[in-house]
Chains A and B, each alone.
Chain A
């Protein structure tokens, strides 16, 4: 069966080569040779620290930016080759939820206008009353009183704004939603509300999420599978259970142990990585993680390890990853 989304060898380089400000060293390889699928109805979490290319990858899938190389297939169709008219139609199938949904919207438009805009563009509700009815229904779906449609964004709290952002994204009945750090700016007690809402809506409508996050804690409840990125590449991907209980890449292990949890006696398990993430304009040769890796050997400085299977559905890019001992039956 064709996956909903298939990214193949996807890459993005930012910055001009040569020119005024010098040579190739000014180029930033934000995404490098990324291959993965998103199945219909699933949530794939994409996790990595700042500068790892996770947001760029999300935007490449939606073709909000064009890739330097590679392809993105949506239901088998290569979206990187669509004309702008074809792409426009495609946008109804794929939506995005931002960290701050109002960062890019006019503060003078009402919530009803903001949510109604995609309905108008795609001709999904004809006439003012039909549109208002549909907006009211959407507000209700995301847990806001329909009467709020005449209010302005500034009258809303952070959590309410994110509900509006979600309503706008689901208004066009998309098949795929990129959620770019949708709860990172929210208070802890509000994060849980939004995550639960996103899960409920997915269960009802059956769309897929690419849920982008900067740590593994927040996606624990919503992800079916998890992909971990480091310096533009996926270093590990697999079913949630295997990633949390038996991570094979040392970076995944460090990332998991680094997030402090409100638990007694978790501190002793912590792996503290040395140094900073290298600049994506100057990616180390070999395994790009070797400068911070606690188990790096000579081979890691020279050869880049491929993303290889360590268990059914779990792949890791590490010379020292071993077949995962956890049987899949238990892990599922």
Chain B
């Protein structure tokens, strides 16, 4: 078992007025080990992006409950002034649309160098050398010659490479990537995913990859956390999720993706749609779309049950059928 780098325990995030809060994320717990790659998968409204922003303390909402520990330290206890030193140096983040995260008026070289300067690279020559190294690492052709180029002169895939260079320049221990390839074409997505794996291998950092696409996560991650309507519903290593998913939502999600191995006449479809954020106040948020639901599902949110050494899922019905015992206690 790897040592935990990041651990979220019972994290609840609320938006709106404190008297009538909308709970967008509720009771989320998972961890990321040192050097591990973990995928956070979910559809829109699942709370996956809010969770990742909460880790960086970049949300407009409130973390109403829970702990977010990084190397044993609860980030929620730190003064806001301590966060900039952690962002970039310890935890870095990349987003879906690199153009909106890059400064259009600054050269690419200056932007990577700025990230270094903020974290103590005061020597100009060393900074420049490191900038070229980083751009080279992420596969920008003729890196030295491109230092003076502006973001608009790069394609979408190249911009995401620049973002990755900026993010990993200070060798963070954790890279949070929020839908990093969603805006890219498939052949460019394949390049960027390959790059993320290479950078992780060479720098030994952990990755928390947020995506709606289980295929993308299967490519990069060792372990998966499945979220639905603000809650974690299943967690397992990637092979187990793909071959023996336990939660009805994970099963439905996997069956509804068109792919080689089940080219049946008709696609499986999960009925209904994701409930609006905060609309489910009690019980399992998936019950209205679930074929297995029993009356208890509407009354009580199921806790996580353990289905195997690496697998747990929050489902009353599956747990009863498989004789799974409640997880949690050991964690």
Contact = CB atoms under 8 A, between A and B. Distances in A.
Contacts of B43: 187-190
Nearest to A254: B187
A214 B256 contact: no
Nearest to A191: B256
Interface in A253-293: 254-255, 257-264, 266-267, 270, 272-273, 276-277, 292
Interface string B241-269: 01100000000111011111101101111
B218 A195 contact: no
A260 B187 contact: no
A294 to B, nearest CB: 12
A81 B191 CA distance: 45
A220 B258 contact: yes
Contact of A190 (B239, B257, B263, B273): B273
B176 to A, nearest CB: 20
- Identify the interface centre among A160, A217, A218: most chain B CB within 10 Å of its CB: A217
A302 interface: no
B187 A188 contact: no
Contacts, number: 125
Contacts of A193: 269-271
B270 A262 contact: no
A196 B44 CA distance: 21
Interface in B201-216: 212-216
Interface in A299-313: none
Contacts of B219: 260, 267
Nearest to A272: B190
Given A187-B274, A189-B253, A276-B157, A217 B258 contact: yes
B237 to A, nearest CB: 11
Nearest to B44: A187
Contacts of B274: 157, 187, 189
Contact of A221 (B44, B191, B258, B273): B258
B155 interface: yes
A254 B187 CA distance: 7
Chain A contact-residue range equals 35 or more
B188 interface: yes
A199 interface: yes
A261 B257 contact: yes
B193 to A, nearest CB: 7
Contacts of A218: 258
A276 B194 contact: no
A173 B215 CA distance: 38
A192 interface: yes
A199 B190 contact: no
B186 A214 contact: yes
A261 B155 contact: no
Given A189-B269, A195-B267, A217-B258, A258 B212 contact: no
A263 B261 contact: yes
A217 B263 CA distance: 11
B204 to A, nearest CB: 20
A146 B105 CA distance: 52
A263 B259 contact: yes
Contacts of B269: 189, 192-193, 196
A85 B242 CA distance: 55
Nearest to A159: B273
- Identify the interface centre among A187, A190, A292: most chain B CB within 10 Å of its CB: A187
A209 B269 CA distance: 21
B192 to A, nearest CB: 10
B300 interface: no
Interface in B259-295: 259-261, 263-264, 266-271, 273-274
A218 B43 CA distance: 17
A219 B186 CA distance: 14
Contact of B256 (A49, A159, A189, A215): A189
A50 interface: yes
B196 interface: no
Nearest to B43: A187
B253 A261 contact: no
B185 interface: yes
Contacts of A292: 187
A172 B11 CA distance: 51
B242 A264 contact: yes
Nearest to B239: A264
B189 interface: yes
B158 interface: yes
A70 to B, nearest CB: 26
B261 A160 contact: no
14 contacts: A49-B185, A157-B273, A158-B44, A187-B274, A192-B256, A193-B271, A214-B185, A220-B259, A255-B186, A258-B187, A263-B218, A270-B190, A273-B187, A273-B191
List the 9 closest A-B pairs by CB distance, nearest first: A260-B215, A49-B185, A192-B256, A262-B214, A187-B43, A258-B190, A192-B269, A189-B270, A192-B267
Interface of A: 49-50, 157-160, 187-193, 195-196, 199, 214-215, 217-221, 244, 254-255, 257-264, 266-267, 270, 272-273, 276-277, 292
Given A196-B269, A263-B215, 9 more contacts: A189-B269, A190-B43, A193-B269, A195-B258, A260-B219, A262-B254, A272-B187, A272-B194, A277-B187
